[in-house]
Amino acid sequence: MSKRKQETGEDVVKDDVDMDNDSGDDEDFDVLDVDFEWFDPQPEYDFHGIKTLLQQLFDVDAQLFDLSALTDLILSQPTLGSTVKVDGNETDAYAFLSILNLQEHRDKPFMSKIVQYLLSKAKSRPMLAPLAELLSQTTIPQIGLILTERLINVPAEVVPPMYTMLIEEMEWAIQDGEPYNFTHYLILSKTYTEVASKLDAENDPPKKKKKATSGSFETMTRGTRTRNEHSKSWELNRRAMPSSLLGTSLKMPSRMWPNI
C-alpha cells in the first residue's frame, strides 16, 4: 500500500494552459491526468531509480562520490523518507526525499567524502563560516543531511507531502530511540548563475574612439567574457532547526543561512 495518493493533472497545469490559451486560441493542448503515490524506500525496487536521481542532484560533481553506497545507505532506512511513483510500488521513483545523520555515518569513506565536499563549499564563502566550523569539528554535531530530487517534469506539488511525512517519521524514530534528534539540518540544492555570452559581445558593433581632451583620453573598452553559455554552479542552502522543534510542534526550518 502507498503512504499517500494524490491525483494531479488539470489542477497542476491549469494556470499554464490558461496562460497559453491567452496567447493563441488556435493551439491544441493535451492535459494528462496522473495519480502520484508516495511509498517507503524499498531496496528491491528503488536502487536504480534513487541512484539516477542522485546523479541528477549532484550533476557534474556526481563522479566525485560513490553513489551506489550512498543509495544503499538511503535504502537501509526504509521507515524514513519517501519515494514518489505513478505506476505502483514496483516501478522506478519519479522523486525521493531522505535524511542522513552525518555524525552517525561520518566514518564511512563515501560519507567522509561528502562531508569534505560540503566543507569546501562552506569555506568558499565567509558568511558560511558557522557551517564550516560545524563540519570541521572532530565530532560532527547532530546534523541531518536532507537529500531530495525529482525528475524535471514532475510538479513541485509532490514535494511538500514528503517533508510532512518525514517530520512525522522522525518523531516516531526519536520515540523509538533512533539517532534522528538533530540540532541542525543541511539541505543540498543547486542554483544557476547567468554568465554574459561571448557571442553577444562579438555581435555588438565596436564603439568609436573619442579624441583626447585636456591631457586625457578614452578608448573603446570591452568586458572580458569567460563563456558563451550559461554556467551552472553549486550552492548550499543551510537551514538550521532547533532541536526543541522535534516534538509535537515540529515545523520546517524557520531561518535559512545564505547560499554558498
Spatial strand order in the sheet of 255-256:
4-8, 34-39, 82-85, 95-101, 143-150, 184-193, 231-240, 255-256
User: Does 193 or 234 have the greater pLDDT score?
Assistant: 193
Give, as one character, the DSSP assignment of residue 114. H
- Between 10-14, 21-25, 98-102, 174-178, the lowest mean confidence (pLDDT) is in 10-14
Within a 10 A sphere around the Cβ of 90, how many other Cβ atoms? Answer: 11
Interval 53-70: pLDDT, tens: 999 999 999 999 999 999
Q: At 91, phi and psi to the nearest 5?
A: -110, 170
Within a 10 A sphere around the Cβ of 45, how many other Cβ atoms? Answer: 19
Give the β-pairing of 184-193 and 143-150: parallel
pLDDT band at residue 201 under the 50/70/90 scheme = low
Interval 3-51: pLDDT, tens: 766 655 544 444 444 544 555 554 566 777 888 999 999 999 999 999 9
Nearest-angstrom CA–CA distance, 70 and 214 = 68
Q: How far is CA 8 from CA 2, 35, 66, 154, 160, in A?
A: 16, 6, 35, 11, 14
Instruction: Please say whether the beta carbons of 259 and 237 come within 8 A.
Output: yes
Interval 113-159: pLDDT, tens: 999 999 999 999 898 899 999 999 989 999 999 999 999 989 999 99
Among candidate residues 147, 146, 150, the one with its CA nearest the CA of residue 93: 150
Look at residue 133 in the predicted model and tell me its pLDDT: 95
3-state secondary structure (DSSP) of residue 192: strand
Look at residue 38 in the predicted model and tell me its pLDDT: 95
Domains with residue ranges and CATH for the chain: 4-9+32-202+226-256 (3.40.630)
Nearest-angstrom CA–CA distance, 44 and 78 = 11
Handedness of CA 258, 99, 102, 59 (dihedral sign): negative
Q: How far is CA 183 from CA 116, 133, 223, 246, in A?
A: 20, 15, 46, 9
Within a 10 A sphere around the Cβ of 91, how many other Cβ atoms? Answer: 15
The answer, yes or no, to whether residue 176 has pLDDT greater than 70, is yes
Instruction: Please say whether the beta carbons of 186 and 239 come within 8 A.
Output: yes
Within a 10 A sphere around the Cβ of 4, how many other Cβ atoms? Answer: 15
Give, as one character, the DSSP assignment of residue 109. H
The answer, yes or no, to whether residue 256 has pLDDT greater than 50, is no
